[in-house]
């Protein structure tokens, strides 16, 4: 199970690694006889690498409008410009687009022509980070796999905006202006294959409602969350990476077995108000509890199995899998209690 989860997460992260930038360094050594063919339809403001004919680089050009996109283009780079509007005209011939990067522009919701995005039928990746959006743009292409909307001014998510996005695996809404009222019970309805949901750096006071059941990574750092509802994680039984750093969680805000969840492998609770280590599951591998108010650690109480079982090498399958434990920034004085080491025999690093 663990291997399968990490494989899925690795595939998710690999899509973020694009090597097309290296084309700029070598294009002048490759296929000079093809230059005229590709440059004839290349927008004057942009760069069309002959060795990568499906890519169009229009980034960092001071553009205020999107130029006409040639039909052959799959990958479109428009980041770091002054673009305010996204209209249908530049995309008339661009029916094969898979990837659009419009990060760091000046795009508003009113500047996006109605229906222009949904007409890009083959689009898989849409990046609109660092713009001036106040709500999630709609409608969106039904085939999208990644939607990145970080660092906008989004305070509203239109009803049903995600309902047809069954292929979406990543939704990034971090560093916006979302309140609890923006996340209704049906907000994420339709995201049946979502793997990563990032709502960090917003203004949430409660855990969001109805997280898609297949979510593996849930990032809620830098909010004002105080309480974990009872059995909250039973609705997301595959969650593996959970980040709740920089919130307002106290001991009273966590149910007795709130984090005793077998699917969670990486749990981050740094910079909260905890005075003790909450009960954890034997499957947990990484635990971040730095910068809380913890004064002491009792290995017998913290150990997810009995110390007697942990001491018995014959029960290797039952030995807790914790490998990394971070406790610095608390009021704990070294040395590390012996019963911690007896319990967590697989520990590779303890920061105290």
Q: What is the pLDDT of residue 32?
A: 45
**Exposed, middle or buried, 155 (CB in 10 Å: 0-12/13-18/19+)?**
middle
DSSP 57: E
Select the highest-mean-pLDDT range: 15-24, 204-213, 315-324, 336-345.
204-213
Pick the closest to residue 250 from 225, 230, 222 (CA basis). Answer: 225
> Can you spell out the DSSP letters for 182-251?
G--TTTTTT-TT--EEE--SS--SSPPS---TT--EEE--SS------TTGGGGSTT--EEE--SS---G
Answer positive or negative: Cα dihedral of 213, 215, 216, 222.
negative
Average pLDDT of the chain is: 89
Tokens representing residue 329 in the block: 């920034």
Please state, in angstroms and rounded to a whole number, the distance separating the CA atoms of residues 234 and 22.
45
Q: What is the pLDDT of residue 31?
A: 45
**pTM: predicted TM-score of the whole model, two decimal places:** 0.87
Tokens representing residue 60 in the block: 């960092």
Residue 243, beta-bridge partner list: 219, 268
For the cut 80, the answer to whether the pLDDT of residue 11 exceeds it is no
Output the furthest CA–CA distance in the chain (Å, rounded). 76
Please state, in angstroms and rounded to a whole number, the distance separating the CA atoms of residues 222 and 205.
10
Please state, in angstroms and rounded to a whole number, the distance separating the CA atoms of residues 126 and 11.
18
Phi/psi of residue 318, nearest 5 degrees: -95, -10
Element (H, E) at 324: strand 324-326
Answer positive or negative: Cα dihedral of 101, 103, 106, 112.
positive
Which pLDDT band holds residue 298 (cuts at 50, 70, 90)?
A: confident
Neighbours of 44 (CB within 10 A): 6
Please state, in angstroms and rounded to a whole number, the distance separating the CA atoms of residues 168 and 145.
4
Please state, in angstroms and rounded to a whole number, the distance separating the CA atoms of residues 276 and 226.
16
Q: What is the pLDDT of residue 77?
A: 98
Q: Do residues 272 and 249 make contact, with C-beta atoms less than 8 angstroms apart?
A: yes
How confident is the model over 225-257, as pLDDT tens digits? 999 999 999 999 999 999 999 999 999 999 999
Please state, in angstroms and rounded to a whole number, the distance separating the CA atoms of residues 123 and 76.
11
């Amino acid at each position: 199970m663990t291997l399968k989860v990490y494989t899925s997460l690795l595939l998710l992260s690999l899509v973020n690694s694009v090597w097309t930038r290296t084309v700029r360094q070598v294009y002048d050594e490759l296929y000079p006889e093809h230059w005229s063919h590709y440059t004839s339809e290349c927008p004057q403001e942009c760069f069309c690498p002959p060795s990568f004919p499906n890519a169009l680089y229009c980034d960092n050009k001071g553009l205020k409008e999107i130029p006409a996109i040639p039909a052959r283009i799959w990958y479109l780079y428009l980041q770091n410009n002054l673009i305010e509007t996204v209209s249908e005209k530049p995309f008339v011939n661009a029916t094969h687009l898979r990837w659009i990067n419009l990060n760091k522009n000046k795009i508003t919701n009113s500047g996006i022509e109605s229906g222009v995005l949904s007409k890009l039928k083959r689009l898989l990746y849409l990046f609109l980070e660092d713009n001036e959006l106040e709500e999630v743009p709609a409608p969106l292409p039904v085939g999208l796999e990644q939607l990145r909307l970080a660092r906008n001014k989004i305070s509203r998510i239109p009803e049903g905006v995600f309902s047809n996005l069954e292929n979406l695996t990543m939704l990034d809404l971090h560093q916006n202006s979302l309140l609890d009222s923006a996340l209704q019970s049906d907000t994420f309805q339709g995201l049946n294959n979502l793997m990563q949901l990032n709502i960090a750096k917003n203004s949430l006071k409660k855990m969001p409602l109805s997280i898609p059941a297949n979510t593996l990574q849930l990032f809620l750092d830098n909010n004002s969350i105080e309480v974990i509802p009872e059995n909250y994680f039973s609705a997301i039984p595959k969650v593996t990476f959970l980040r709740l750093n920089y919130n307002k969680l106290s001991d009273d805000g966590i149910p007795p077995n709130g984090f005793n969840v077998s699917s969670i492998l990486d749990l981050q609770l740094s910079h909260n108000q905890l005075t003790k280590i909450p009960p954890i599951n034997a499957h947990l591998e990484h635990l971040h509890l730095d910068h809380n108010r913890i004064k002491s650690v009792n290995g017998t109480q913290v150990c997810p199995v009995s110390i007697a079982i942990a001491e018995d090498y014959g029960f290797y399958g039952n030995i807790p899998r914790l490998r990394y434990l971070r406790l610095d920034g608390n009021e704990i004085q070294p040395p590390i209690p012996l019963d911690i080491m007896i319990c967590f025999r697989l520990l590779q690093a303890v920061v105290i």
